[in-house]
Every structure is written in structure tokens, then in C-alpha cells.
Amino acid sequence: MEKKQQPEKNKNNKLVILYATQTGNAQDVAERMGREARRHHLQPLVVSMHAYNPSSLPGEHYVLFVVSTTGQGDPPDSMRGFWKFLLRKSLGHQWLAGTQFAVFGLGDSGYQKYNVVAKKLDRRLLDLGGKPLLVKGLGDDQHPFGFEAGLDPWLASLWLTLREQIPLPVGLQDPTPGDTGLGFLPPPPVSITEFYLLRARAMVDAASNPFAEVATSDHNNNSLQHGAPSMPVFAQLLKNQRLTKDDHDQDVRHIELDLGNSGAQYVPGDILTLLPRQNPTSVEKFLKHCGLDPDAYVTVEAADCDTSAADEKGDVPKRQPILVKTLVEAVMDVDSASPRRYLFEVMSHFAGAEHERERLVYFATPEGRDDLYRYNQRERRTVLEVLNDFPSVQLPLEWLLQTVPRLQPRSFSIASSQKAHPNEAHITVAVVKWATPFKRERHGLCSSWLASLNPNQGKIFVPIWFTSGAIKLPPPSVPLILVGPGTGCAPFHAFVEERVTILSRGDTVVAPVLFFFGCRKQAKDFLYEEDWLAWSTGKNVLSNNVGGGFFAAFSRDQSEKVYVQHKICEQGENVWQILQSGGAVYVAGSATKMPSDVMSAFERVIAKEAGWPIKTASQYVKELEQKGRYTVEAWS
């Protein structure tokens, strides 16, 4: 009997850690769990959900899930296939009877549907028979010290719970409470091999410029897949036009891209994703500070097949030489994203100055968490700034790859219809800038880069790909109510342009559209003014003559602020008529207060027009959501 149980103990030592991330935070948390699990003598497997076969879950004894919530309660792209599998009706209530699990969610309580993905996942795992190791944990970005304020105590409870389930191997000890493991640095998860002799000029030219003009006939459209394609579309910049007035404090751009002969296709509601280019000066400073030869070639591979070093597609990096400068430019976000606490922990092992080492060690402890938050996240310090503040630290490339935040692709709602522009894709970009609590000016990496591009100064190519968005344009016969203040109007510009084009061909019936737009001042930031007004005339889809309408709220043009929700209430009769005729509602824009304010406006309109109590009207809106007739796409 004992011989049969021994393999079971080894099997129980395995801890599967699955994560679903949109910006990289969930992956950071999952990798931290993996590091701490090793210190507790467990065997972690850290992998993205979309690289894991969900049918294998019943064979796992212990599984941790780290999931973020995006937009208005949406799962990250990497979780969609996994979640769809878990929702299969064929999975019985005892499907996970032999699996114990724990869920930690990353969210923002400023959003209407705070951490809803983690809550739904936890509930579904229970429905499938899974046994919770402990109550789900919820990290809140709104907390004064970020999501780690909830993560730290949750992890402490997790390791205690797992130790009760999994006996400690003979002769080993668990870390004592409060032991952060700062005195021990494990081997890096990747190994680097350098090839200094590979300096052929042609190879340097090809590798060092990821945005060079290349053939686009063999691109990967990637419309329905997760992650970046192996070969994106290299689209040529045609137009970069400022939509707001020059003296307005918000710079919003209309950008047009030529898809050439790529054959790439999209539909209204889809998302255009691109990889931004970092400031060359910042990259040069980073390379110099770290003592890296930009012209050297290296290979990167997982050390000891460490699964946490797998790339976003779940593959171990292939052993192919790459230019160091290209590796930094394309992979490491050196001058935009703030680093995680683990960077400071690793830096403490490489500090040459004692006072720097002491400060780094303090930052990496629970006692120093508050001061680290004030120094790092609150001020949005970049990796380059942190390294400059600790000049004695010289991190090897292996550890830079592990600790520097990944350069994340940026996504934009497509503002054009391919029926109207067959070989083009248009986006609307608000140039991001803000001041930190200490009045240091910050600029968005991607939006600032895009705004700087000038198509009149030579050919410029941008690597892009398309993915499905949260909103889908229904058939032309379905009436629409669109609410898109600010840059939230972008996807609806595509919606309306598509229907205007279909109407002009006269080959199908096109239903009317009510569109509610909002901005600050009519004379300053009335985005796409000419298009909306043109599409509101005659028999066009926004015309009052066909039952449509365009309604703009200019919040700062009068003493009392007016927003889109006020315009919705003013047009209550028309709104109710559209809803009664089977119409669909789409809302896009800022994810702060706007979505909840707009929903409240619809509830008030419905209650008034139908003569219902507000509770009944709220239930009616929820039913619209469930039927796919009320959809929100929001971003922060």
C-alpha cells in the first residue's frame, strides 16, 4: 500500500499556476507565486491560460488562477478560449471533484464591474465540483498601495493552507513568517549566449530596425487568435491629422494606415493593435547604463526548461541569435512602465554601494512597501529612472530580461469601415500626458510616438494586426443607439460609415441610428464634426427624416455642465421607440463614471416612458445585456 502512495505524494507536490493577463500584471503575480512556491519546496508550473489545455484540469491536484478584469467585466484575450471551455454544459458538477483551487483577481474598484472575471471564475470552478483552498483574493488598483496590499496577506494564508495539505519533505524547512528570501537569489530563468563575431552589416540593418519596409504578402492576419502574429501587417502611414484645435489642451489625432496588398480584413468593432517604438535616446541610455554592447548578437533560451520563461504563446524561446539593441527595443519597456517590486529585490544583489543595497533591501520588504509605492508606482518611475537612482547596480542581461516590464502592444478601436476604405484602417488617438504628484510631466509612450510621425517626411511603416473587439455591428436592419463621448466615438464612426456606405449602394434596408456624442467645447474638440453633420442630412442613417438623430453634448460651453446622459434623457421618447423596435445599445469611452452614468440614464428613460418603477427598468436593462442588446467597451 505504501509503495502505491509514494508516487502520489510526488504528484501532489505539483502546483499549477495559470494566469490571464492583458497588461502583464497577472503574469507578474503568477511568476511571484512560482518563486515563492519553490521556496516552499513545491514544484510550480507557471503558464498562460491560453497555452494550457483546460481538459487537463481534472488531473491536477492543486491549481492557482490569477486573472485580471478588463474593460467592463471582460476577460483578457488569453482567457477567452479557456473560459469558453469551462462554460460547456457537458462538464458535470463533479468534473473537478479531485481538484483543489484558489483564485486571485486583479481589478480596479473604480470600474462598475470590479474584479468580476475572478468572481465568475471562482463561482464556475465551484459549480464544476472544485474544492477551494481558501476564499478568493481580490487585488484593487485603487488601494493606496496597489493590488499587492491584498496579495501579500492572501499569499501568506495560501502557503499555510497548502502546507496543511502537502507534508513538508523530510530534512527541509519552510521559510519562517516574515522571511522574504532576500538573502537568496535563485539562478536566472533564462541563459544568454553571446556571439560577438556576428557583425555583418546587412544583418545589423535588418535586425536593428523593426519598422523597416518589408514585404507584406506573407503576413499573419491573426484576426481570431491571441497574441501578436509572427509577421504582422506593415501598414504605411498615410495621414496624421490633428482633430482638436491647436490651442486645446487635449491633442487627438486621426491616423490613416494603408494595408497595401496584405489582404488583411476587419469589420466594424474590431481592434487594431500595434507595437510602439521606444525613444531611441532612452534605449541608448539604457544600453550604456547596463554596459550592454548594442551590436552584439545573443541567443536567449530557458534555463533548465523553466516554464515561467516561456513566451506569451507558451513556447520556450528558440535558440536564434538576436541583436542586443533589437532585444531591448522590442521586448523591454525601459522608459514608460513602472517596474515591479521584484526588480528592487534582484537589484539588491547587484548593488556595489552599501547604502544603495540597504535601501533596495528595505524596498523589497513588507515594511518598505509603502515607501516603495510612494517612490515607484505613485510617481510612475521608469526602469531607466530607477537604474539612474541606483548607479552602482549592474544587472546582467539575464536578469534584465526577467525583471524589466515587457513592452506591451497598444490597442485602438478601428474608426473606419473597410467597405468605404477597402485597403485602409483608421484609428483615433488621444495623446496621453499628465503630471505626477511631484509635478513631473509624463507622456504616453505609444500616443506620443504616433503623434510624432509625419508621412510627408518619407515612407513610414507601422507593424499592426487585427483582433475581435467587444462590440459587434449587427445587421443593417437593426436600429442602433450609440453613446460615444470623446474618443469613444471611434468605433461608432466605423459603425455609421459602414451603414452610410451600405445605404449608398441601395441594395439593402438600413435602420436608423441615434448617436450621442460628447466633448468639452464645440469649437475646440468636436471630433469628426463634418462627418456627423453630413451623415445627419437628407435620408442618411443619422437623419431625423428617417428616425435617426445626432445629439452632441458640449460640457463646458455653458455654466452648467451637460453630458451625454443628459441628452439621452432629453431624447427619452426616441430612445424608448428604438428599444421597443428591437434596437441595440452600444456604449464606448472612458471606464470611470461614464458607463454607470449612461446606464442610469437609460434606466430613468425606460422607467418614465414605460411607466415602470426604476427597479423594473433596471431589470429590463440587465435583460438587454444578457441578450447582447446592451454592450459596453470602455478603457481607462
Q: Per-residue pLDDT tens for 450-469?
A: 999 999 999 999 999 998 88
**Is there a contact between 603 and 567 (Cβ–Cβ < 8 Å)?**
no
> Is 26 annotated as contributing to ligand binding?
yes
> Is 216 annotated as contributing to ligand binding?
no
The predicted structure's pLDDT at residue 73: 77
Choice between 386 and 209, residue whose per-residue pLDDT is larger: 386
> Is 445 annotated as contributing to ligand binding?
yes
> Is 94 annotated as contributing to ligand binding?
no
β 630-635/513-519 pair status: unpaired
pTM: predicted TM-score of the whole model, two decimal places: 0.83
> Is 362 annotated as contributing to ligand binding?
no
- Judged against a pLDDT cut of 60, whether residue 127 lies above it is answered with yes
> Is 270 annotated as contributing to ligand binding?
no
348, burial (CB in 10 Å: exposed 0-12, middle 13-18, buried 19+): buried
Q: Per-residue pLDDT tens for 605-631?
A: 999 999 999 999 999 999 999 999 999
Q: Per-residue pLDDT tens for 516-541?
A: 999 999 999 999 999 999 999 999 99
> Is 154 annotated as contributing to ligand binding?
no
- Pick from 175-184, 292-301, 411-420 the range whose average pLDDT is largest: 411-420
pLDDT band at 311 (very low <50, low <70, confident <90, very high): very low
Q: Which of 410, 398, 489 is nearest to 445 (CA)?
A: 410
- Judged against a pLDDT cut of 90, whether residue 23 lies above it is answered with no
For the chain, what is the mean pLDDT? 87
> Is 21 annotated as contributing to ligand binding?
yes
Q: Which residues 6+ apart lie within 8 Å of 601 measured at CB?
A: 564, 565, 566, 568, 569
**Is there a contact between 45 and 64 (Cβ–Cβ < 8 Å)?**
no
The predicted structure's pLDDT at residue 229: 58
The percent of residues in the chain predicted with pLDDT above 90, rounded, is 67
- Average pLDDT (325-354) is 93
> Is 73 annotated as contributing to ligand binding?
no
Structural domains in the chain, sorted by start: 2-165 (3.40.50.360), 233-276+409-467 (2.40.30.10), 278-403 (1.20.990.10), 480-635 (3.40.50.80)
> Is 487 annotated as contributing to ligand binding?
yes
> Is 56 annotated as contributing to ligand binding?
no
The percent of residues in the chain predicted with pLDDT above 70, rounded, is 88
> Is 70 annotated as contributing to ligand binding?
yes
> Is 273 annotated as contributing to ligand binding?
no
The predicted structure's pLDDT at residue 439: 85
457, burial (CB in 10 Å: exposed 0-12, middle 13-18, buried 19+): exposed
> Is 446 annotated as contributing to ligand binding?
yes
Q: Per-residue pLDDT tens for 345-395?
A: 999 999 999 999 999 999 988 788 889 988 998 899 999 999 999 999 999
The predicted structure's pLDDT at residue 4: 38
- Average pLDDT (95-108) is 94
> Is 410 annotated as contributing to ligand binding?
yes
Cell triple for 170: 523530510
> Is 408 annotated as contributing to ligand binding?
no
Q: Per-residue pLDDT tens for 465-486?
A: 998 887 889 999 999 999 999 9
**Is there a contact between 67 and 26 (Cβ–Cβ < 8 Å)?**
yes
Q: Per-residue pLDDT tens for 235-284?
A: 999 999 999 999 999 999 999 999 999 999 999 999 999 989 999 999 99
The predicted structure's pLDDT at residue 318: 53
The predicted structure's pLDDT at residue 437: 85
314, burial (CB in 10 Å: exposed 0-12, middle 13-18, buried 19+): middle
> Is 556 annotated as contributing to ligand binding?
yes
Sign of CA dihedral 308, 314, 320, 324: negative
Q: Which of 323, 361, 96, 84 is nearest to 226 (CA)?
A: 84
- Judged against a pLDDT cut of 60, whether residue 222 lies above it is answered with no
> Is 90 annotated as contributing to ligand binding?
no
Among the ranges given (293-302, 518-527, 599-608), the one the predictor scored with the smallest mean pLDDT: 293-302
> Is 465 annotated as contributing to ligand binding?
no
